[in-house]
Copies of this chain bind each other. A is one copy, B any other.
């Protein structure tokens, strides 16, 4: 496997076209509507938010995913089309229908995504004008423009791509993603679109995607809030010409997909609203896997722990406190805590010699490792500090 440049359009047969249609009153320099399509029939897999309040496009795309063939994704930023009732459903359907007409395909072969403010109906006049522009010559082609078109509070475009060989044939996987607030395990406020030219069945692709998402987008957190619009979609069009059996039997495709999703997930965290540090929280030695997950989640989402990190303060006492209410089994007298490789706590109490913890906690990125010494459960989450800038950013007008 090797990482290559580019993103959603590295796989053969995929194109992305983006335009600005003014959904947010913003500068026309940044597109806000994008259409990603395969020139030949492709299959799709997807993972959507587990939030019970689902945006209209999530409901529509869930239904369209039942189609054996999926050819395109249309996405807008600036408006989430969530909590918009029947109007929202009608608007999402209209977006799919317009794109289908443009591409001369069945409406059910188009998936729809929206991201932005909740509770405001989509400005359909603008969107319709944008959709009509997509067929013109004045569109912005390529992955980077598509990555920019789905940005909301993101500060940089997120792309990643790799190439692997499957029975001698080069196979490419590429993707784009956006963050940057309302980010929590069980799908962040985020969109991620992936494409591959691998020949793969819809069913196998879904299995690989679920596994990749579990280890990447479901292991990041910025603010503990889970959104109504989270969607990860992967299209595969088979143009690489590999044998499906070779793909299923080798672990290489899964590894490559994991790599791309993990990279994109890390970029989302690094671009978290107002953050100054990225921390990988690792729990090992838990009595079970689910205990390990409970423990990493409690630490990674604790407001007090995250505030201390903002100040570069190790404050392992708050980590102990979060462990204590996480629900994970623990014996206080066995707990060990490390900041990178420096041991702060052993046997549940501070190591007096650990004076230089701050040299770690003042870094832009570091690891916090907790060993519960109870079993073999282990898990990890990528999280951030919590800053006044985050609060200022999210206080509204």
Q: Could you tell me which A residues sit within 8 Å of B by CB distance?
A: 50-54, 80, 82-85, 87, 117-120, 181-182, 184, 186, 223-228, 301-304, 307-308, 310-313, 315-318, 320-325, 329-330, 332-333, 345, 347-350, 386-397
Q: In the complex, which residues of chain B have a beta carbon less than 8 angstroms from the beta carbon of A223?
A: 303-304
18 residue pairs of the A-B complex, CB under 8 angstroms, read A52-B323, A52-B329, A53-B332, A117-B317, A119-B316, A184-B325, A225-B321, A225-B325, A227-B321, A228-B321, A303-B303, A303-B386, A304-B394, A307-B391, A307-B393, A313-B395, A315-B396, A386-B391
Q: In the complex, which residues of chain B have a beta carbon less than 8 angstroms from the beta carbon of A118?
A: 317-318, 320-321
Q: In the complex, which residues of chain B have a beta carbon less than 8 angstroms from the beta carbon of A82?
A: 317, 320-321
Taking a contact as CB atoms under 8 Å apart, the answer to whether B83 and A332 are in contact is yes
In terms of DSSP, what is the predominant structure of the interface of chain A?
A: loop
Q: In the complex, which residues of chain B have a beta carbon less than 8 angstroms from the beta carbon of A389?
A: 388
Q: Per a CB cutoff under 8 Å, which of B53, B320, B350, B391 touches A321?
A: B53
Complexed CA–CA distance, A284 and B248 (Å): 50
Complexed CA–CA distance, A227 and B323 (Å): 11
Complexed CA–CA distance, A181 and B304 (Å): 9
Looking at the assembled complex, report how far the CB atom of A390 sits from the nearest CB atom of chain B, in whole angstroms.
7
Taking a contact as CB atoms under 8 Å apart, the answer to whether A53 and B323 are in contact is yes
Extra contacts, 4 of them, besides A303-B303, A388-B391 (Cβ < 8 A), are A52-B324, A82-B317, A182-B321, A387-B391
Taking a contact as CB atoms under 8 Å apart, the answer to whether B225 and A310 are in contact is no
- In the complex, which residue of chain B has the Cβ closest to the Cβ of A392? B388
Q: A83-B348, A304-B223, A322-B225 are in contact. Are A396 and B330 (CB under 8 A)?
A: no
Taking a contact as CB atoms under 8 Å apart, the answer to whether A396 and B316 are in contact is no
Taking a contact as CB atoms under 8 Å apart, the answer to whether B83 and A308 are in contact is no
Taking a contact as CB atoms under 8 Å apart, the answer to whether B311 and A225 are in contact is no
- In the complex, which residue of chain B has the Cβ closest to the Cβ of A182? B304
Taking a contact as CB atoms under 8 Å apart, the answer to whether A228 and B394 are in contact is no
Complexed CA–CA distance, A393 and B315 (Å): 14
Taking a contact as CB atoms under 8 Å apart, the answer to whether A324 and B391 are in contact is no
Complexed CA–CA distance, A345 and B82 (Å): 13
Q: Per a CB cutoff under 8 Å, which of B52, B330, B390 touches A52?
A: B330
Q: In the complex, which residues of chain B have a beta carbon less than 8 angstroms from the beta carbon of A52?
A: 323-325, 329-330, 332
Complexed CA–CA distance, A324 and B83 (Å): 11
Q: Per a CB cutoff under 8 Å, which of B225, B315, B332, B348 touches A303?
A: B225
Taking a contact as CB atoms under 8 Å apart, the answer to whether A394 and B307 are in contact is yes
Complexed CA–CA distance, A186 and B50 (Å): 26
Taking a contact as CB atoms under 8 Å apart, the answer to whether A228 and B320 are in contact is yes
Taking a contact as CB atoms under 8 Å apart, the answer to whether A303 and B224 are in contact is yes
Q: In the complex, which residues of chain B have a beta carbon less than 8 angstroms from the beta carbon of A320?
A: 53, 82-83, 118-119, 228
Complexed CA–CA distance, A224 and B297 (Å): 13
Interface centre among A85, A225, A304, A325 (most CB of B within 10 A): A325
Complexed CA–CA distance, A311 and B52 (Å): 27
